[in-house]
Amino acid sequence: MTTTNITTDTGTAALLAAVDAGVRTYDLGRRLSIGMPQSPNHPPFWHALPRRHGDSVRSDGGSAANDIITMGTHVGTHIDAFSHVSQDGRLFDGSDASDAGRGGRYAELGAHTIAPMVRRGVLLDVPAALGQPDGCDPGYEITPADLSAAADRQGTPIRPGDVVLVRSGWGRLFDHEDRTRYIGLTTGVPGVSEAGATWLADQGIHAAGADTIAFECLRPGAGHSVLPAHRVLLVERGVYIIETMALEELAADGVHEFLFVLSPLAIFGATGSPVRPLAVI
C-alpha cells in the first residue's frame, strides 16, 4: 500500500519554479469544532484546555496553554482505511475480518498503510451537470450516467490513479445553524449509488471523496448503516473513501482538475484518519 517516490533535480526544479510562478491552494478540510455535524456511528469530537495560560508561570513570566482532543477517526474530514469495512466477515484482501479483532489485519490494512497522496485530482460537479445549481435533492442517488456526464461536460476524463471528488452540493449545509441538516437522518442525503461506485472503481481510481457525511446515498430514516458504496470501494475494489470534504470553493471557481495532496496521520492499525486535503492549481 506504499509507493516509492522518485525525485530528480530537474523534477524538483520544475516544481519549485511552478511554486515561484504562483499556485493557488484550496483547503478541502472542514474545521474541527465541538458540536459540528457528524455521523452517530462514531464517538464525538471533544476539545478541552486542561492547562491554561497562568496555570503554570515560569520564572521569566512565560506560560503555555496545552489542549487535548478526543474524537472518532471517522469524524470531520477523514479517510477510511481498508480495515474499516468488512462484508460477510471478509476484508479487502479476502482475509478474515475476525483476525483484525486480534490485531493481525489492522497491522496490514490500517490507516498507517495509506501512503500520502500527491496525485491528479478531478472534481465531478454533479449538480452542474444536472442543471441543479442549488445541489442534488436530498436522498438523490448519483448514477454512473451522472458521473460520466459531469466528466464530459467539464472535459476532465477520469484516468487510472486519479482521486475523484464527487460534489453533490450538500456541503453547503455543513455550517447550517441546524446541525442536524447536514447529517440528514430524516431528509436523506444525496450520494454515489452502488452502481456509481462500481463505475468509479472501473476507471481505476485511487480514492474517491465527497462533500457528504458518508459518501453514499442515504435514504430518509435509514440512518447511516446501509453503505453499499463502502462495500464496493473498500472491500471489493481497494479504493479509499474520503468524506465530509469542503468542495464548494472549488466548484464556485470552476476548478475541476488540480494537484491533490493528502497525508493521513500514521495511526498504527487505525480504521481511518482525520485529514486536511488540499487542491493545488
Q: Cα separation of 79 and 207, whole Å?
A: 9
Measured from the Cβ of residue 261, the count of other Cβ atoms closer than 10 Å reads 18
**Shortest gap between Cβ of 83 and ligand UVW (angstroms)?**
12
Specify the pairing of strand 66-70 against strand 46-51.
antiparallel
> Which of 30, 120 has the CB closer to ligand UVW?
30
Alpha helices in the chain (DSSP H): 9-21, 97-101, 104-109, 126-130, 144-154, 180-183, 194-202, 228-230, 248-252
> Which of 80, 146 has the CB closer to ligand UVW?
80
Binding site for ligand UVW (CB under 6 A): 39, 41-42, 74, 80, 213-214, 224, 230, 243
**Shortest gap between Cβ of 224 and ligand UVW (angstroms)?**
4
- Cβ neighbors of 132 (< 8 A, separation 6 or more) are 169
**Shortest gap between Cβ of 245 and ligand UVW (angstroms)?**
12
In order of 36, 65, 135, 194, the CA distances from 241 in angstroms are 20, 35, 21, 14
Q: Which of 135, 223, 222 is nearest to 171 (CA)?
A: 135
> Which of 206, 230 has the CB closer to ligand UVW?
230
**Shortest gap between Cβ of 230 and ligand UVW (angstroms)?**
6
List 274's β-bridge partners, or say none: 78
**Shortest gap between Cβ of 80 and ligand UVW (angstroms)?**
5
**Shortest gap between Cβ of 182 and ligand UVW (angstroms)?**
12
**Shortest gap between Cβ of 251 and ligand UVW (angstroms)?**
22
> Which of 189, 261 has the CB closer to ligand UVW?
189
Sign of CA dihedral 192, 194, 196, 201: positive
> Which of 80, 125 has the CB closer to ligand UVW?
80
> Which of 80, 141 has the CB closer to ligand UVW?
80
- Cβ neighbors of 139 (< 8 A, separation 6 or more) are 184, 187, 188, 189, 190, 217, 218, 219, 220
> Which of 136, 214 has the CB closer to ligand UVW?
214
- Cβ neighbors of 188 (< 8 A, separation 6 or more) are 138, 139, 217, 218, 219, 220, 221, 222
